[in-house]
Chain A
Amino acid sequence: MTIHSLYILSKSGGLIYQLDNNIPTIENEKTFSYPLEVKLEVQNRNIMVVYGQRDGIKVGHTLVSVNGMKVTGQQLDDGRDAMQVLANETNYPINLKFARPKLTTNEKIFQASMFYPLYALACQLSPETRSSGIETIESDNFRMNCFQTLTGVKFMLISDPKQAGIDTLLHRVYEIYSDFALKNPFYSLEMPIRCELFDEHIKGTLEQAERLGISSI
């Protein structure tokens, strides 16, 4: 029973609500000797593994700490440049910690607005007549379910591929949305949802669904 995150998109494709419920932290720490066995490169202002997967460190993971000292972007907390530290043989053996990068708020907004045209394209490229847009996307280790209401609002849940009954949960989320966002006089349509009651109910429902199963909601 794992529900990773929830996205709500407005009719025009903007992200109006996002909640990370249960995102696993993937971190790996290892002591390296000179020369480094993984190839690192600066990408998107982060130091990223581009080649040489080993001991759980995967391509795409970013460097988060050097000898226990946090790395922000390319800089160590004491102001040194991490790439220069890594290039210097005298600093070895060195302890590096890599983690799978988490999406920043900006990236989430970006990804959400990217889903909107994908949904429309799936409709257009359909080999069958009168097809809807994407309802689920599945890969080997996660599944995304999307429920679009008649008014065009999209609810997206990211969960474990084995998780059953997501449809029920999505309908429940819709219900909470209509009860606590739409009926809130201070909420204006198409704007990000910042309603305390809505937040509380969504979190409660997701938690309950994870703990007791979706049939209990």
Chain B
Amino acid sequence: MTIHNLYLFDRDGQLLYYTDWNRKKQSGMTRDEEAKLMYGMIFSIKSFVAKVSPVDLKEGYLTYTTNKYRLNLYETPSRLKFILNTDIHAQGIKELLQQIYTQVYVEYVVYNPLCNLKKPIESELFAAKLDEVVKQSAAYASRPA
């Protein structure tokens, strides 16, 4: 059980925050390019899912799995996108993402008058709290190498 990394995008596709915990493979490009690629992929997957789905979709939660990892996307009504990569067996990630949104993002970014909501997050307090919440979750806990 492990959590790999987290991307946070705003409604315009700008990368607001990125952090990783157990990331084994780098994508071999700059963070900027990687973020664009990730946002583009998420955007396409969303439209693909909306088209292919046999019924109307309800929530902004979506996951995909490969044989090695699982990507979890949580989109708030304000179109903020939280993307968390975990291993395929991780449980309760949806709740964790909601917790990150309500208890970390809202508390330490929205309530912080010095944080510009349209700029990448530089607050150290946010980073520290996020790290704390993720490390406390059941899905975190590094796999034995």
User: Do A and B interact with each other, yes or no?
Assistant: yes
Looking at the complex, which one of B25, B37, B56, B58 makes contact with A129 (CB distance below 8 Å)? B25
Q: For the complex, what is the distance from the CA of A125 to the CA of B25, rounded to whole Å?
A: 9
Interface residue? A128 (CB, 8 A): yes
Shortest CB distance A92–B (Å)? 27
Whether A140 contacts B59 by the Cβ 8 Å rule is yes
User: Which of A114, A124, A139 has the most C-beta atoms of chain B within 10 angstroms of its own C-beta?
Assistant: A139
Whether A114 contacts B71 by the Cβ 8 Å rule is no
Shortest CB distance A81–B (Å)? 27
Whether A141 contacts B53 by the Cβ 8 Å rule is yes
Whether B58 contacts A127 by the Cβ 8 Å rule is no
Whether B63 contacts A121 by the Cβ 8 Å rule is no
Interface residue? B96 (CB, 8 A): no
Q: For the complex, what is the distance from the CA of A161 to the CA of B27, rounded to whole Å?
A: 31
A-B contact count (CB 8 A): 114
Q: Which residues of B in the span 44-63 have a Cβ within 8 Å of any Cβ on A? A: 44-45, 47-59, 61-63
Whether A131 contacts B4 by the Cβ 8 Å rule is no
Whether B23 contacts A127 by the Cβ 8 Å rule is yes
Shortest CB distance A53–B (Å)? 10
Looking at the complex, which one of B34, B38, B49, B69 makes contact with A137 (CB distance below 8 Å)? B49
| Residues of chain A within 8 A of B40, CB atoms compared | 121
| Residues of chain A within 8 A of B59, CB atoms compared | 139-140
Interface residue? B41 (CB, 8 A): yes
Whether B56 contacts A121 by the Cβ 8 Å rule is no
> With A114-B44, A141-B58 known to touch, is A128 a contact of B52 (CB < 8 Å)?
no
Whether B56 contacts A134 by the Cβ 8 Å rule is no
Q: For the complex, what is the distance from the CA of A157 to the CA of B47, rounded to whole Å?
A: 18
Q: Which residues of A in the span 136-154 have a Cβ within 8 Å of any Cβ on B? A: 136-142, 144
> Per-residue 0/1 for B70-98: is the Cβ within 8 Å of any A Cβ (1 yes, 0 no)?
01000000000000010000000000000
Interface residue? B5 (CB, 8 A): yes
| Residues of chain A within 8 A of B5, CB atoms compared | 127
The interface of chain A, by Cβ under 8 A from chain B, is 4-5, 23-24, 26, 58, 60, 100, 103, 107, 111, 114-115, 117-118, 121-142, 144, 158
Q: Which 10 A-B pairs have the closest CB atoms?
A: A127-B4, A131-B68, A128-B68, A4-B54, A132-B67, A127-B23, A121-B41, A137-B64, A129-B25, A131-B66
